[in-house]
Amino acid sequence: MDKRRVDENSKNEQLEQFKEDEEHQFLTTDQGLRVENTDISLKAGERGPTLLEDFHFREKLTHFDHERIPERVVHARGSGAHGFFQVYEPLTEYTSAKFLQDPSRKTPVFVRFSTVVGFRGSADTVRDVRGFATKFYTEEGNYDLVGNNIPVFFIQDAMKFPDLVHAIKPEQDNQIPQASAAHDTFWDFVANHPENAHMIMWVLSDRALPRSYRMMQGFGVNTFRFVNAQGRGRFIKFHWRPMLGIHSLLWDETQKIAGKDPDFNRRDLWEAIEMGHYPEYEFGVQMIEEEDEFNFDFDILDPTKLWPEEDVPVKWIGKMTLNRNPDNFFAETEQVAFCPANIVPGIDFSNDPLLQGRLFSYLDTQLIRLGGPNFHEIPINRPLAPISNNQREGYHRMTINKGKGSYFPNSVAGGRPRPASADEGAYVHYMEKVEGRKIRSRSEKFKDFYSQAKLFWNSMTEPEKMHIIKAFHFEVGKVRDRSIRQGIVDMFNNVDGDLAIEIAKGVAADAPRTKGGSPVTRKSRNVSQELSEHTRRDSIKSRKIAILAADGYSHAEVESLRTALMKAGAQADIISKLRKTLKSSEGKEMEADKNYETAASVMYDAVYIPGGKESVNTMKTHGYAVHFINEAFKHCKPIGATGDGVDLLVSSGIAGVNFAESGSAVMTDKGVVTVRSPGANSGFNGSFIDAIKEHRHWDREKNMQVPA
C-alpha cells in the first residue's frame, strides 16, 4: 500500500510540473512573448484585410482549430442531405459565376445542418445556433456557402473565436454542462463583451429552437462580393428562405423532446425526404453598391449587424431542393469538409474581419480532423470539375499521379498543367485598393453594440418578447456568480430598460437604478417586420397531426379528416394506449402507429380526437391521453374534436374555450376547433386545417390555465 501511495505521489508531482502558473499576470504566446492585444487581428487600416504576418492571430486560431479530434470543434452534431440548385434567371449583370446563369441547369448540392456547441452525442433540440452549410458542385469547382440560421454573430473579429467557444463549451474544471450556454463562463464572456448583445437577442429568441431544419432560415452571415465579367463589384449578403415557412419549438417542448427523441430534427429531415416531402429553400442576396458602402448607420462589414431588409431588399435568385438522403452517414455527413475560401469566379470576399479569419481557420481545422492535406479526395468533398495540379503525397493520398512532372514550369510534362487566363476560366481576385497603417483597431461604427439589439427587440411580438424574457430567466438564472447575473442585467439595460427590469426579476439581481435603453439609429423606422417569425402564415404540407383513439372510435370521422389532411400534404399518426389493431364502432379496423410511451404531443403539430362514445370513455380514464391534450393546449397547438370527442376536451380541464353545441364547426380564438355533429357540411376539416396553418395560437399564453 505504501508503494502505491509513493507511485501516486510521484505521478502527482509529475503532473504538477505541467500545471499552469496561476500567478502569471501577462498574456503570452506559446513562445512566452507578451502580447498587447488579443481581441483584434492585425489589419491594413481599420477596415482593411487581416495580415498574414499576425503571428499571434495565426497561433491562437491554429491551436483552437486543433483542440478536438476527431470530431469537429464546433458544429459536431450534424445532419446532411443531397439535392440540387437552380437559378431563376441569368445574373450576368451582377456576377460571372456560371452556376448562377442558366435556369435549366441543376447544380448538385450537399447541405449539412448542425448544432454548434454540443458534442456529437448531444440532442438536436438544445437552444443553440444552427449551422446551414451548402456545398455547390459547380462546373468551375466547389463553392461552399458556410452559414448559420441567424444572420449575425457573437463577435466582430475572428481573433475572438477561441475565447467565445472556450467560454460556451462545458466548463474546464468539470466538463459541465453539455450543449448549453446556461453556465457561468459563457455569461461572464457575454457580460465582458458588449458586442454580443445583438446575437444574444437572437439566441434567446425562438429562432434558436427550430421546429425542423426544413422550416429554418439560413444566412451567409458575412459580407461577400459579387463581381461581374466587367470587374464591377457589389457587396452582398446571402439568404436561404424555407418554402414551408419559418417555425420554432417552445423551450418546454425542446427539453421534453430531448428525452423522447434526441434525434428529432435529424429524424424529421430523413423521414421527410424518404416520404417525398423534399425540403425547398429560396436563395436570395442583398446587394449594396460600392459607392453606397458608407451610407448606413452601421458598418456593412460588421458581422454583428444585419442589413435591414426594408433598407436593402432581398433579391430572390433561385431555389434549392433536397431530395436524397446520404447512403452512409460517416462517409458523407461526417467527412464533408466546408471552407468559406472555396469560391468560384464571380464571388469574392470583403474585409469583414470575421470572414478574414474564417478563410484561414476552416482549412487549418480540416487538416487534422480529416488526417492531412488530401481530404479533398474523399468522395463527398471531391469536385465535379477536374483536378489538375502539382500537389503530391501526404496522408491518405488517393490519386495515382503518372509521369515525372510535379512542378511548374516544366518540360518533362510538356509544360502542363499550366496557369489559365481569365478568359480560360481562371479565378481573378477583385482588384480592391488596399492601403493603411498596420493597426489593431475597429472602425467607429463597429462600437455601436446596442442599436440593432434594440431593433430586434422592438420587432418582436408580445409572445416572442415573453419567450426571450423566460429564456434569460433560464439561462442567466443558472449562473452561480451573482456579479455575473448583475452584469447581464446592467448590460441589457443598454438595450432596453424594461427588458433589463424583467430579466432582473427572474435571476435574483437588482433592477437598474436608472432605466436605460438604446435608440434605434435606422433612418426610416424602429421595427423590421422580417425579424419576427409570428407574422408568417403557411400551408400544412408535411405537418404531423396526432389522432388519439381507442376501441370504439368513429372510423368515418377519422377517415374523413385523414383524407383531408393527406390532400393538404400533412401526415397523421394514430396514437393509442397500446400499439395494436383498433376496432371502430362501425366494425372497421385500423392499426395504431404509436403508443403513449413512444409518442408525445411535443412531437406533433396538432391533435385531433374523433368521436365514438366507447373510445372517448376509455380515454377519459387514460392519464396519458388527457395529458397529451393538456400539453398540446399549453404549447398553443391546434386542437380538434368531433362528435363525442368534444366530451374528452371538456373533461380534460382546459379553460377558456367555448365548445360547439351545434352542427357547424366552431374555432375559437385559441385555435380549438369542435363540432358536435360532424358531416359533409359541418366545415370541420377546413376549419381545423386553417387552425393548423396558424402553427400556434398565442392567445392561450395570456391566461394559461391548464394542468400540464
Q: Higher confidence at residue 585 or residue 524?
A: 585
SS3 686: helix
User: What are the cell numbers at 388?
Assistant: 489538375
Catalytic residues: 75, 148
Between CA 470 and CA 251 the distance in angstroms is 9
Question: What does the pLDDT look like over 177-187, one tens digit per residue?
Answer: 999 999 999 99
pLDDT of residue 346: 95
Between CA 473 and CA 252 the distance in angstroms is 13
Mean pLDDT of 128-155: 96
681 pLDDT band, cuts 50/70/90, is low
pLDDT of residue 506: 97
5 pLDDT band, cuts 50/70/90, is very low
Question: What does the pLDDT look like over 586-601, one tens digit per residue?
Answer: 999 999 999 999 999 9
pLDDT of residue 415: 83
Between CA 300 and CA 372 the distance in angstroms is 36
544-703 carries CATH number 3.40.50.880: yes
Question: What does the pLDDT look like over 615-633, one tens digit per residue?
Answer: 999 999 999 999 999 999 9
Highest mean pLDDT: which range of 265-274, 339-348, 373-382, 647-656: 265-274
Between CA 159 and CA 154 the distance in angstroms is 12
Between CA 473 and CA 487 the distance in angstroms is 14
The answer to which of 213-222, 430-439, 476-485, 486-495 has the lowest mean pLDDT is 430-439
pLDDT of residue 4: 44
User: What are the cell numbers at 155?
Assistant: 463577435
User: What are the cell numbers at 565?
Assistant: 389532411
pLDDT of residue 71: 77
Question: What does the pLDDT look like over 78-102, one tens digit per residue?
Answer: 999 999 999 999 999 999 999 999 9
Class of domain 450-531 as given by CATH? mainly alpha
21 pLDDT band, cuts 50/70/90, is low
Domain ranges, ordered by start, for the chain: 75-172+193-364, 450-531, 544-703
CB-based contacts of 553, cutoff 8 Å, min separation 6: 582, 584, 585, 610, 611, 612, 614, 615
pLDDT of residue 153: 98
Report the share of the chain in percent with pLDDT over 90: 70
CB 271 within 8 A of CB 217: no
pLDDT of residue 1: 43
Is residue 512 predicted with pLDDT exceeding 90? yes
Mean pLDDT of 545-566: 97
Domain with residues 75-172+193-364, CATH architecture: Beta Barrel (2.40)
Q: Is the Cα torsion angle 88, 94, 100, 101 positive or negative in sign?
A: positive
Report if pTM > 0.75: yes
Is residue 22 predicted with pLDDT exceeding 70? no
Is residue 20 predicted with pLDDT exceeding 60? no
Is residue 14 predicted with pLDDT exceeding 50? no
Report which residue type is found at 82: H
- Straight-line distance from the first to the last Cα atom of the chain, in angstroms, rounded to the nearest whole number: 57
